[in-house]
């Protein structure tokens, strides 16, 4: 019997993500292709204790249906974390979500009519591109440089297209590692507010800073409900628990909540309670410091090895935090082909073209440094340097 699928799935085949997962699955390969935190960083002992304790003490409520909005103690902690970032939020402004990427789906579902224009960074998170596509928007890419979104290009494209919203990962961006510089942040929010364009601020890497000064989130410059901020505990506690938060205008958060009712009713209560206990116990901030020390070391080693073993005409984008380095190879090199060769030598990365709304940029690639050991980083980058040198 023929399957008459909805139009919205035409051309959405999940192949990029699938290929990345395949590269991660082969244990012989040193894979810089993932976006995963280091498994040894997970506080499994603390989480095991909290899980057992929560279930014994509050099993009757934690195992029962919960409200779509999320459990109140966790919402309270999220409000405090937002305050520390210069964001004022009340309960009506917060929705607990099942990982911050659920916020992308909720934003798309709440705002996009087929054919509406939305703006995305060039490059941007491949998962967001796929999610957006299922809502059939006109996706327009805004140019970026080593300081993030170019405000001139943003203004130009807003005037040209009257977009519904801008999707931006302002800090240690995925895939580029680049951070939207301080003097563009407030201005970006002002430009969008003045033009009635919402901003979806996806900021899962913000607390993983290894160098430079902390910057205020876009949401802290918001005065009229322009910015919806997505927070994640995937990179700082555990991605497997699927807990994040959306913070925004109360009316928007209510629409997100209505959409979330259909999507999963509510986020797993036990995971919410575990994240709450972990933050509330005071273990969260010291844990972030530990992760940062470990990832900084890995980033430094990867950059040193690239400097030593990669051809000098390979450009590495600036990276003060997060999980990724972004490389631009000389024009003419196709990283999809390069990957095929690299895999035969047991090294993998993600070709950059997957991260562009309209493809192209065939000479770019993304490297993840969080999940691979220091020794494997040394070995893998040396090998990859050889593969690149040979391809030139």
User: Minimum Å distance from CB 341 to its own copies?
Assistant: 27
User: Minimum Å distance from CB 183 to its own copies?
Assistant: 23
Residue 268 or 345 with smaller CB distance to its own copies: 268
User: Minimum Å distance from CB 73 to its own copies?
Assistant: 15
User: Minimum Å distance from CB 202 to its own copies?
Assistant: 13
User: Minimum Å distance from CB 217 to its own copies?
Assistant: 18
* C-alpha pair distances (Å), 355 with each of 90, 159, 310: 35, 25, 23
User: Minimum Å distance from CB 221 to its own copies?
Assistant: 14
Residue 132 or 356 with smaller CB distance to its own copies: 132
User: Minimum Å distance from CB 386 to its own copies?
Assistant: 30
Residue 127 or 318 with smaller CB distance to its own copies: 127
* C-alpha pair distances (Å), 254 with each of 15, 31, 158, 220, 247: 33, 40, 26, 21, 11
Record the tokens describing residue 367, joined without a space: 């490297």
- Other Cβ atoms less than 10 A from the Cβ of 76: the count is 15
Residue 161 C-alpha from the chain's centroid: 25
Residue 47 or 78 with smaller CB distance to its own copies: 47
**Strand order across the 227-232 sheet:** 94-97, 244-247, 227-232, 198-202, 165-168, 117-121, 138-142
**What is the per-residue DSSP string for 115-166?**
T-EEEEESS--HHHHHHHHTT--EEEEEPEETTEE-HHHHHHHHHHH--SEE
User: Minimum Å distance from CB 262 to its own copies?
Assistant: 4
The per-residue b/e assignment along 304-342, b for 16 or more CB within 10 angstroms, e otherwise, is ebbeebbeeebebbbbbbbbbbbbbbeeebebeebbeeb
Q: Which residue has the tokens 């939020």?
A: 89
User: Minimum Å distance from CB 2 to its own copies?
Assistant: 7
For the chain, the C-alpha Rg in angstroms (whole number) is 21
Nearest to 144 by CA among 186, 176, 191, 166: 176
Nearest-angstrom CA–CA distance, 127 and 22:
16
- Other Cβ atoms less than 10 A from the Cβ of 78: the count is 27
Residue 117 or 317 with smaller CB distance to its own copies: 117
Record the tokens describing residue 217, joined without a space: 């989130």
Residue 45 or 159 with smaller CB distance to its own copies: 45
Residue 60 or 331 with smaller CB distance to its own copies: 60
Residue 37 or 322 with smaller CB distance to its own copies: 37
Residue 105 or 362 with smaller CB distance to its own copies: 105
Angle, helices 374-391 vs 335-344, to 10°: value is 120
């Amino acid at each position: 019997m023929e399957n008459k699928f909805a139009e919205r799935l035409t051309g959405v085949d999940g192949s990029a993500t699938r290929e990345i997962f395949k590269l991660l699955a082969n244990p012989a390969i040193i894979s810089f292709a993932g976006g995963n935190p280091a498994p040894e960083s997970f506080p499994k002992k603390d989480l095991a204790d909290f899980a057992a304790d929560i279930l014994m003490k509050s099993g009757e409520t934690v195992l029962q249906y919960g409200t779509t909005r999320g459990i109140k103690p966790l919402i309270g902690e999220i409000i405090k974390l937002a305050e520390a970032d210069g964001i004022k939020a009340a309960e009506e402004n917060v929705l607990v979500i099942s990982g911050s990427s659920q916020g992308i789906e909720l934003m798309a579902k709440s705002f996009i009519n087929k054919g509406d224009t939305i703006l995305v960074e060039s490059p941007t998170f491949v998962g967001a591109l796929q999610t957006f596509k299922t809502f059939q928007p006109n996706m327009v890419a805004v140019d970026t440089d080593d300081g993030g979104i170019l405000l001139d290009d943003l203004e130009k494209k807003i005037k040209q297209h009257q977009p519904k919203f801008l999707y931006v990962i302002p800090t240690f961006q995925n895939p580029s590692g680049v951070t939207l510089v301080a003097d563009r942040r407030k201005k970006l929010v002002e430009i969008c507010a003045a033009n009635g364009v919402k901003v979806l601020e996806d900021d899962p890497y913000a607390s993983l800073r290894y160098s430079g000064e902390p910057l205020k989130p876009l949401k802290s410059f918001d005065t009229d409900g322009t910015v919806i901020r997505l927070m994640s505990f995937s990179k700082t506690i555990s991605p497997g628990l699927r807990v994040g938060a959306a913070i925004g205008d109360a009316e928007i958060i209510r629409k997100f909540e209505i959409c979330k009712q259909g999507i999963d009713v509510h986020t797993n209560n036990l995971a919410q309670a575990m994240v709450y206990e972990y933050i509330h116990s005071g273990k969260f901030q010291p844990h972030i410091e530990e992760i940062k020390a470990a990832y900084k070391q890995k980033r430094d080693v990867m950059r040193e090895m690239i400097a030593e073993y990669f051809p000098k005409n390979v450009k590495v984008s600036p990276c003060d935090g997060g999980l990724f380095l972004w490389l631009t190879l000389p024009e003419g090199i196709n990283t999809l082909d390069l990957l095929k060769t690299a895999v035969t030598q047991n090294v993998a990365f993600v070709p950059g073209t997957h991260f562009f709304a309209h493809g192209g940029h065939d000479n770019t690639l993304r490297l993840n440094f969080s999940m691979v050991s220091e020794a494997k980083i040394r070995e893998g980058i040396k090998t990859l340097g050889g593969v690149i040198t040979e391809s030139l």
